[in-house]
Amino acid sequence: MALGDGTTWDVTLPDNTVVANLIDEYNRDLRAGIQARMHLEHIWAATQVATNEAGLHRYITMTRQVSAPALVVGTQTQQGAVWVKSSGLDLFFTNSASTDAAVILAAFDQTVAGTKTLTTLPLLPATTATTDNEAASKKYVDNQTTTPAQMVKGWASITWAGGTPTLQDNFNVSGINDDGIGLITISWDTNFADANYCVVATPKDNGHAIAQVLSIAAGTVQIKCRDLDQNDEEVEALYVMAIGSQ
């Protein structure tokens, strides 16, 4: 360690006892000492061509703070500060209104307060949600609502007036065909995997009527409506639901 290499830091020197021919050594010592210390976190080369080469950081280290720093607020003064809270070691930002907010970090477990509005939808991991408070991906929701065979894959609401059936509303029905008195065929928009699916048909009638599945295929189902005496009957309405694999 020699005077001028900047390794020894002494703010009391030079003093009035230092001879004049050592002032240049003390000047170099001050410059070297500042550059060496700033170069730890800053990119501060020993020589620079222009001032715009300065100001770059390698990293920033922070000491723990019990409370947010007191900012001096005014024109062109301290408008915000980033600091580490000693309790929990979370990274915080404090604005000029002394409002503290935790900085969201990518690789740490955090509890973040306040409303966060995302302009794009977040990407979730491919793993399946397993607890009540975990977010579920679109694929997981789709699998629960469209893939399992136990879900309803088609339904129809059909009414009769003057002997003519009308499809009032439906899901996954491409059309209906009037096959005769109380006899109707429903065609599915998306076929089932095979004929091994379940069809539930319920008639609405002022008297007593029953609905019976006469034939079933992957793409169609034929239903007959009869009264309790087994006579063909055009009911007021027929409600049909189909469940199975597609």
The domain of 211 spans 152-243
Which candidate, 154, 243, 240, 156, places its Cα nearest to that of 197?
243
> Does residue 87 sit within a domain?
yes
pTM of the model: 0.48
> Does residue 93 sit within a domain?
yes
Bigger pLDDT: 192 or 10? 192
> Does residue 112 sit within a domain?
no
> Does residue 147 sit within a domain?
no
Sequence-ordered strand ranges (E) for the chain:
64-65, 80-85, 91-95, 100-102, 152-161, 164-171, 173-180, 183-188, 198-204, 209-216, 220-227, 237-243
> Does residue 141 sit within a domain?
no
pLDDT digits (tens, 9 = 90+) for 174-229: 999 999 999 999 999 999 999 999 999 999 987 789 999 999 999 999 999 998 88
Indicate the DSSP class of residue 239: E
Q: Are residues 3 and 47 in the same domain?
A: yes
Burial profile 133-164: b = 16 or more Cβ within 10 angstroms, e = fewer = eeeeeeebeeeeeeeeeeeebbbbbbebeeee
> Does residue 122 sit within a domain?
no
Q: Are residues 39 and 74 in the same domain?
A: no
Bigger pLDDT: 186 or 6? 186
**What is the arithmetic mean of pLDDT over 161-178?**
95
> Does residue 95 sit within a domain?
yes
Q: How many separate domains does the chain show?
A: 3
**What is the arithmetic mean of pLDDT over 130-154?**
77
pLDDT digits (tens, 9 = 90+) for 87-108: 776 888 888 888 888 887 777 7
> Does residue 232 sit within a domain?
yes
**What is the arithmetic mean of pLDDT over 105-129?**
78
Q: Are residues 30 and 75 in the same domain?
A: no
Peptide bond preceding 203: is omega within 30 degrees of 0, i.e. cis? no
Q: Given this model, what pLDDT does residue 4 score?
A: 67
Cβ-contact 53, 45 below 8 angstroms: yes
Q: Are residues 52 and 79 in the same domain?
A: no
Phi and psi torsions of 217, nearest 5°: -140, 175
> What rounded mean pLDDT belongs to the chain?
85
Neighbours of 204 (CB within 10 A): 15
Residue whose entry in the numeric block shows the structure tokens 């000491």? 63
Q: Are residues 47 and 71 in the same domain?
A: no
**What is the arithmetic mean of pLDDT over 120-132?**
81
Whether the per-residue pLDDT at 147 is higher than 60: the answer is: no
